[in-house]
Chain A
Amino acid sequence: MIYSVLIYDTEESIAAMTDEDERERVAQHGAFQAPLRDSRKLGAVARLMPISTATSLRGDGKDKLVTDGPFAETKERLLGFYLVDAESLDEVIEAAKALPSFGTIEIRPVSYFEGSDFRHGPRLVLDQS
Chain B
Amino acid sequence: MDRDWFSTSLKASRPAVIAALTRYFGDVDDAEDAFQEACLRAAKTWERNGPPRDATAWLIFVGRNAALDQKRRQRNQVALPDDDVFVDDAANEAELVERIDEAPYRDDILRLLFLCCHPSLSSTQQVVLFLKVIAGLSVDEIAAAFLVRPKAMEQRITRAKRRIAEAGASYELPSAEERLERLNAVRAAIYLIFNEGYSASGGDAQIRDGLCKEAIRLARLLLSMIPSDPETMGLLALCLLQHARRAARLDADGGIILLADQNRALWNRTLIGEGQVLVEKALRKREPGPLQVQAAIAAVHAGAAADDKTDWEEIARLYGILAELDPSPVVALNRAVAVAKVAGPARALEMLQPLAEALDNYLFFHGARGALLAEVGRREEAARALGRALELARTPAEAVHIRDRLDELNKSPSELSD
Which residues from chain A sit less than 8 Å from chain B, CB to CB? 10-13, 15-18, 20-21, 24, 49-53, 55, 67-69, 71, 73, 75, 102, 128-129
Contacts and interface: CB of A to CB of B under 8 A. Distances in A.
Given A16-B8, A18-B4, A71-B227, A11 B277 contact: no
Interface residues of B, number: 27
Contacts of A69: 227-228
Nearest to A9: B12
Given A21-B8, A49-B274, A129 B269 contact: yes
Contacts of A67: 228
Nearest to A20: B4
B274 A11 contact: no
B286 to A, nearest CB: 13
Nearest to B232: A52
Residues of B contacting A: mostly: helix
Given A129-B269, A129-B270, A53 B277 contact: yes
A75 B4 contact: no
A52 to B, nearest CB: 5
Residues of A contacting B: mostly: mixed
Nearest to A14: B12
Nearest to A24: B4
Contacts of A12: 12-13, 221
Nearest to B220: A15
B217 A15 contact: yes
B212 interface: no
A102 B7 CA distance: 12
A55 B281 contact: yes
B291 interface: no
B12 A10 contact: yes
A49 B54 contact: no
Given A12-B12, A73-B104, A52 B220 contact: yes
Contact of A18 (B8, B273, B281): B8
B223 interface: yes
A113 B11 CA distance: 42
Contacts of A11: 220, 224
B352 interface: no
A67 B12 CA distance: 27
4 A-B pairs closest in CB distance: A12-B12, A16-B12, A16-B11, A53-B277
A49 B5 contact: no
Interface string B43-65: 00000000000101000000000
Interface string B1-44: 00011001101110000000000000000000000000000000
8 contacts: A15-B12, A18-B4, A51-B227, A52-B220, A52-B233, A53-B281, A69-B228, A75-B54
A13 B9 contact: yes
Nearest to A21: B4
Contacts of B278: 52-53
Contacts of B371: none
Given A50-B220, A50-B274, A17 B8 contact: yes
B12 A102 contact: no
Contact of A68 (B4, B54, B221, B228): B228
Which one of A24, A67, A68 has the highest number of Cβ atoms from chain B below 10 Å of its Cβ?
A: A68
A52 B229 CA distance: 10
Interface string B233-245: 1001000000000
Contacts of A18: 4, 8
Contacts of A13: 8-9, 12
Contacts of A102: 5, 8
B29 to A, nearest CB: 23
A26 B330 CA distance: 41
B60 to A, nearest CB: 14
Contacts of A55: 281
Interface in B199-248: 216-217, 220-221, 223-224, 227-228, 233, 236
Interface string B143-179: 0000000000000000000000000000000000000
A19 to B, nearest CB: 9
A68 B11 contact: no
Nearest to A52: B223
Contacts of B11: 16
Contacts of A24: 4
